[in-house]
Amino acid sequence: MTLAERRTSPTMPRKARTPAESATTPAVDKTMAKRAGRSAAVAGGTKTVSATPRKAKEAAGRAARPIAGRRPGRPAGADSGMLDRSTILSVALQLSKTVPLSELSVVRVARELGVTPGLIHYYLRGRDRLTSGIMNAFYREAVESWPSELPDWKQNLEVVANAVYRGYLRYPGIVVYLASHNRYRLVQDVDEGEIDYGILFFERFTSAVRGAGFDALHTAGYAHLLADLITSFAHATIARRWPSQHGEFLNEKLASLDPAQFPSTHFIRQSLTSLNPADAFKMGLELVLHALEVARGQPARMRVV
C-alpha cells in the first residue's frame, strides 16, 4: 500500500482483547490509573503522598505547620520583662566602657540583656540606630553634667575642656569610635520630637570657645582644633601611648644609648619616661590656651562688635 493509499484508507478497528489477555493486565491498568491521578493532582496544584502511615503522618504535620515569617509587632518573648528603648540604650552605653562602639552589635547587646536580637531590632530598628542611640545617650550625659559657666573666658574654657576629657575617659569604647569614624560623631539619627544631644553638646562646646571673643572664622577653627586635641589625648590614654605607661622598658633602652651621640635623648629621658596622661593633657591644654590669649591681641582675629 502506498503512502497516499494509507492516508485515504479507513481507520482499522483496534483488535479486541481476548479474555485471557484481559486477565493478565489488571496491574497495568492500576499503574495507568495511578499515573492519571498524579497528573490530575499536579494540575490542581497539590502533591500526592504515598498512602503509608508514616508518610501520611509526615504530610499532615507539614500541612499543619505555619508558614515561617515575622509577624508585625513585638517578637516572641517581648513580654518576659520590663524592657524599653531607654533601658536598652542605658545598658549599651555601659558596655561601651569596655567594648569599642564599632564592635557593639545588636547580638552583643541582646546577649547582655538575655533577650533575642529580634527584640533589640524591634525597639531600635537596626545596628545604625543602636550606634546613634548610644552616642546620643553619651552626649546627653555630657550635656546634663556640663559645668556652670564662669565669667572669665580662659578659666571657663579650661574647665569645659577638662570636663569633656574626663567624660571621654569614662567611655573608652566611645573614644575609640570617635578617633576612627565620622558618622555619628556629631549629628544623630533621632525620631521626630526627640532631642539630638550631639548638636546640644556641640553648641555648648562652641559657646565656650566663642567666649574668647574671636570672629566666626577663628572661632570655628579653634573650636575644631581644641575638640580634636581632647579626642586625641583621650585616645592616646586609652591606647596606652604615653611614655609613663611603658616607662620601665623605655628607660632601660634609652639609658643604654651613648650620651655623646644622643645628648638630647639623655636630657629628657627621666622626664619623658615619667610623663603621665594627666600631666600631658594639662601641658597641652595650657599651650592651646596661651596661644588663644596671644591671638586675642591681634585685632584682625577678633569679633567686630
Q: Is the predicted pLDDT of residue 173 greater than 90, yes or no?
A: yes
Q: Is the predicted pLDDT of residue 22 greater than 80, yes or no?
A: no
Q: Is the predicted pLDDT of residue 179 greater than 90, yes or no?
A: yes
pTM: 0.71
Q: 165-169, 255-259, 275-279, 294-298: which has the minimum mean pLDDT?
A: 294-298
| More confidently predicted of 64 and 275 | 275
Say what the pLDDT of residue 82 is. Answer: 77
| More confidently predicted of 38 and 102 | 102
Q: What is the mean pLDDT of residues 271-275?
A: 93
CB burial string 238-251: b at 16+ within 10 A, e below = beeebbbbebeeeb
Say what the pLDDT of residue 111 is. Answer: 95
pLDDT digits (tens, 9 = 90+) for 68-127: 444 444 544 444 467 899 999 999 999 999 999 999 999 999 999 999 999 999 999 899
Say what the pLDDT of residue 303 is. Answer: 67
pLDDT digits (tens, 9 = 90+) for 188-222: 999 999 999 999 999 999 999 999 999 999 999 99
Q: Is the predicted pLDDT of residue 156 greater than 90, yes or no?
A: yes
Q: Is the predicted pLDDT of residue 284 greater than 70, yes or no?
A: yes
On average, the pLDDT of the chain sits at 82
| More confidently predicted of 165 and 37 | 165
Please report the domains of the chain, with CATH numbers, ordered by start residue: 85-218 (1.10.357.10)
